[in-house]
Amino acid sequence: MRHHGEALRKLTKDFELVERIGRDPLGSALEPRGRVLVAFALELTNAPEQVIEDDLAPLRSAGLTDAGIHDLVSVVSYFNFVNRMALGLGVELEEEYRL
Q: Supply the DSSP symbol for 36.
A: H
Cα 76 to Cα 65, 72, 98: the distances in Å are 16, 6, 22
CA 76 to chain centre: 6
Domain count, the chain: 1
Residues across the chain: 99
Give the Cα separation of 63 and 69 in Å (integer). 10
Q: What is the CATH number of the domain that holds 42?
A: 1.20.1290.10
Residue 92: its pLDDT value, please?
80
pTM, entire model: 0.80
Residue 9: its pLDDT value, please?
85
Q: Structural domain of residue 19, as residue ranges? A: 2-97
Mean pLDDT per 10-residue segment, the chain (99 residues):
73 87 83 93 96 97 98 95 91 63
Give the Cα separation of 94 and 96 in Å (integer). 6
